[in-house]
Structure 1
């Protein structure tokens, strides 16, 4: 049973909001563009695992994707995919790497990239640490999980692995996942007396409810090394990304491609949330949307059912309280 579906990582959403509205001449443009491509590629790898997971007996296991949990020390840890069977719990860490990697004797992986080779830490140690943190999470809550297994999956079929004989048997290709599940099923005979499906479903739901969602309380652009002055203002076109669009009789019109859209501000306000956080004043939104009348901003926010606190010039709007904007943010 799918308990928590896979969703686009928030960092991907932030970068997708930022890149269209900063200048390609910006000194960080290439760096941010490459990071966005890398993160999207990694997410593609996680998604590619869905094909193999579809063959699992979904009435006998509980699947959670993209978990982010508190580890008991004030820090967080993330799990790509967690699968809870009656016999065991499986942590899956996905690596969608390309090109050539060379396995070192101590477990590190050398990414061969011309003259600029890169050394990655042993991914098995990474997933072992996730296993320990999940155990601590359960211990603090006085929960008992089925014995935990872990696996690192290289999801890109064309990845070349040199010295593959040095790889841990728990580092596998995507097409080996189901065979490993079969072997673990033999290693851990199911004990229905110890873990009922109802009990495990409740545990899976607790994990889902404990997942730390991004609430957009703080600006994200500062983490990218950007300032608000470097972000283009104005409602940007939903067809060609040009900004600013002109507002004519409650409709936005692109002066570049001619696109007309009554709701173009929705995408721009979603971008504001991703970059600057959920809270804003009317003046801040006027500046960001490039609107010369505060009454227009108030009308737009009222139509989107945005909640507010305070009065007149001190009014603060909670943009993420709007279901329309929340849905747009997570697209």
Structure 2
């Protein structure tokens, strides 16, 4: 039973919004596009694992959580790609969609591709650290200690996993997606005695969902882009220009003539992803390019947004989830 689905990471949504609002000749554009490509590849690799995991779910005893981000302390978190929880044990799957020749040693992962060598953190250690943090978290909330293990799943079919006889964990823990089922059976045969009853599992499920804290990175800061560099206006999804204007009661792109029903909401989503979660009448007019104070006020009131302050000092709260609901997402 899947208790938490995998969704598109917010960093991907933010990068797409940022690229949408930067000139084509922006000096950081290539770096951002490369980052976005890597993020999409990683997400698709994780999705490919989901197929194999979900094929195991005929047996009701498994609970699956995708993409959990849980607290270590007030300001530190650890992230789990996939958690499989049962009454006897839990398993963590750390997905990697890395292309090339992969060589693991205790300290790092070395990838060789087209004659170039890149160094990554050792994902075996990453997954083992996640086991430790999750065990500590569950014990902190009085949940019985469960046996546990983890596997690194190499999703890219064209990658080559080089053996390392001096590091036996590679042979034991680095697998392909198709091996998930057989590894799960081995673990099930090893840990046969139930530790959690139905109430314990329900309590654990509620706890993990409650403690899950989605990341909210600052892509503007990361790429050192100032707000002044962002292009203003409403995006036309048909011709890909920031050209949509208010015509009567509709939002129309004068370049291609298409009606963009959600142009305003999509623009506000860009604003909250890149700029701020609060917006005033003046900031709306400047970012969306609306000339009329009265029209901007009417639009903001029509969205039923919570706000603070009065008149000229009024600021409206833009909540990402609420704006997505307005789009029907």
Which TM-score applies when normalising by structure 2?
0.92
- Tell me what 1:175 maps to: 178
Unpaired runs of 5+ residues, structure 2, are none
Deviation at 1:328, TM superposition (A): 6.4
1:86 positional shift: 1.0
Q: Where does residue 209 of structure 2 map in the other structure?
A: 208
1:224 has 2:223 as partner: yes
Shift of 1:222: 2.1
* Residue of structure 2 equivalent to 1:188: 191
The answer to whether 1:266 aligns with 2:265 is yes
Give the equivalent residue in structure 2 for 1:72: 73
Write out aligned runs for 1:1-150 (5 A).
1-56=1-56, 57-72=58-73, 74-104=75-105, 106=106, 108-150=108-150
DSSP-derived class of the 1:17 partner: helix
Q: Which sections of structure 1, spanning at least 5 residues, go unmatched? A: none
CA distance in 1, matches of 2:132, 2:123: 14
Distance 1:327 1:22 in 2: 26
Deviation at residue 293 of structure 1 after TM alignment? 1.1
Q: 2:327 and 2:116 mapped to 1: Cα distance?
A: 37
Q: Choose 68-77 or 181-190, whichever is displaced more.
A: 68-77
Spell out, residue by residue over 1:265-288, the C-alpha distance to the aligned partner (whole angstroms, 9 max, x if none).
Answer: 111111111111321111111111
Instruction: Please tell me whether the aligned partners of residues 250 and 262 of structure 1 are also in contact (alpha carbons under 8 angstroms).
Output: no
- Contact (CA 8 Å) 1:247, 1:253: kept in 2 or not? yes
**TM-score w.r.t. length of structure 1:** 0.91
Which residue does the alignment assign to 1:239? 238
| CA offset digits 1:61-96 (Å, max 9, x no partner) | 111111111113631111111111111011111001
After superposition, the CA RMSD in angstroms is 2.1
Cα distance in structure 2, aligned partners of 1:16 and 1:103:
33
Q: 1:173 Cα deviation (Å)?
A: 0.7
What is the total number of aligned residue pairs between the two structures?
Answer: 325
SS at match of 1:63: strand
Q: 1:236: Cα distance to partner? A: 1.2
State the 1:10 CA deviation. Answer: 1.0
